[in-house]
Amino acid sequence: MERLTSPPRLMIVSDLDHTMVDHHDPENLSLLRFNSLWEHAYRHDSLLVFSTGRSPTLYKELRKEKPLLTPDITIMSVGTEITYGNSMVPDHGWVETLNNKWDLGIVKEETSKFPELKLQAETEQRPHKVSFYVDKSKAHTVTKELSQRLEKRGLDVKLIYSGGMDLDILPQGAGKGQALAFLLKKLKTEGKLPVNTLACGDSGNDAELFSIPDVYGVMVSNAQEELLKWHAENAKDNPKVIHAKERCAGGIIQAIGEFKLGPNLSPRDVSDFLECKAENVNPGHEVVKFFLFYERWRRGEVENCEAYTASLKASCHPSGVFVHPSGAEKTLRDTIDELRKYHGDKQGKKFRVWVDQVLATETTPGTWIVKLDKWEQSGDERRGCTTTVKFTSKEGEGLVWEHVQQTWSEESKVKNDSSWII
């Protein structure tokens, strides 16, 4: 968050499973649409927050399975853990808040008296969260009695039932809603309260997100019955909370447009990049656009015509250099020429490309350095490179690619020099 010198234009706070991530979309198209929109239009001046019921272990597993962007802030374990940045630094102030009237030992002792409760995996048991499975038909009775028992033991807890099977027991001060309220208060103290905040969810444990004052909310079209019921009883007259017509990340994009929170046309929804001109000099957009074109070229979704390669070569400096992850160097224009022979080589195959953490810095007037992580997935193989691009610009002439350097990402599963083009 250090990169933000002023309040974020937009903060998106999104659940992951069945909200940001559509597990019924094997190509991850709605997620990839959101990714390119975020990196193109929002990464530089906004905040992305993932708020998930998953523990850190299961969250990291999901990151390996799906093309998720790197969030600025991660709220995990149903709002009981808040971490910051790539290295996921914990918020110790939040931990202290949750310790009030909470005793993990007593919670375990009392829950052991209910045979209806089946303990979830060990990874899902956290310092401020105990998680069970319970049959839908027994959930109401069990939660009512358990709540009374814990109260008699002097604890102040909340029980959250979601997904028609998951029961989470948390400190009363925890939960996705309270974690968001804590975060907004902290940002306000630092002079970085977002101009707008959009909360996104699909299930019962997301309801709290929509109860925070001055926050926009979207229930994706595939929202579960328990959340729709909550909305009908508590927020049906709130114009700031909508039920989207689109599933998952598509519903988030829809909400950005409906609430007029900023641009909502994803670069993935633009068919012809030669016609796509940014209103202002935007090096980040240029990078997003190029790697999306690269994906379509390899998939054979754009025509193999001279106009495309000529346009790309014209945007490269005649002596511009590309440094391959192997360390080999060649001119940028030769790299474009080489790309021509790969047209359609991934046609009909599971091949996707996305960029993450695109951040542009103007080092001197008219000179830009853009840093990003570029990822590509071919079948089950995922590879990534840390990429640095130098652009120059002259008034009225657009951006010129001067230098591109790539090194293998530490997170890249495969580091195969021979089949990496750019």
Condensed to tens digits (0 to 9), the pLDDT of residues 117-149 reads 999 999 999 999 999 999 999 999 999 999 999
Cα 22–28–292 angle (5° rounding)?
145
Condensed to tens digits (0 to 9), the pLDDT of residues 19-36 reads 999 999 999 999 999 999
Q: Domain tally for the chain?
A: 3
Phi, psi angles (nearest 5°) of residue 177: -65, -50
Condensed to tens digits (0 to 9), the pLDDT of residues 355-383 reads 999 999 999 999 999 999 999 999 989 99
Asked, for residue 4, whether it belongs to a domain, the answer is: no
Task: Check pLDDT > 90 for residue 1.
Answer: no
Asked, for residue 1, whether it belongs to a domain, the answer is: no
Cα 240–200–249 angle (5° rounding)?
120
With cut-offs at 50, 70 and 90, classify the pLDDT of residue 395. Answer: confident
Average pLDDT of the chain? 93
The Cα 359–Cα 344 span in angstroms is 30
Token look-up 């303990």 returns: 119
Domain boundary residue, one of 221, 246, 268: 268
- Closest of 349, 345, 323, 350 to residue 334, by C-alpha: 323
The Cα 249–Cα 226 span in angstroms is 20
What mean pLDDT comes out for the span 235-258?
A: 96
Same domain, 143 and 53: no
What is the span of the domain harbouring residue 145?
101-171
Q: Which residues pair with 368 in a beta bridge?
A: 362, 391
Same domain, 352 and 369: yes
Q: From start to end of 93-223, where are the E strands?
A: 118-119, 130-133, 157-162, 166-171, 196-201, 216-219
> pLDDT value at position 279?
52
With cut-offs at 50, 70 and 90, classify the pLDDT of residue 107. Answer: very high
Q: Which two tokens stand for residue 404?
A: 């591109």
Residues 6+ apart with CB under 8 A from 206: 15, 19, 51, 176, 199, 200, 219, 227
Same domain, 113 and 191: no
Amino acid letter for position 349: K
Same domain, 129 and 67: no
Same domain, 302 and 362: yes
**What's the gap between Cα 91 and its chain centre?**
20
> pLDDT value at position 280?
58
Condensed to tens digits (0 to 9), the pLDDT of residues 32-55 reads 999 999 999 999 999 999 999 999
The Cα 199–Cα 413 span in angstroms is 32
The Cα 338–Cα 230 span in angstroms is 56
Token look-up 């790969």 returns: 342
Condensed to tens digits (0 to 9), the pLDDT of residues 328-349 reads 999 999 999 999 999 999 999 9
**What's the gap between Cα 72 and its chain centre?**
9
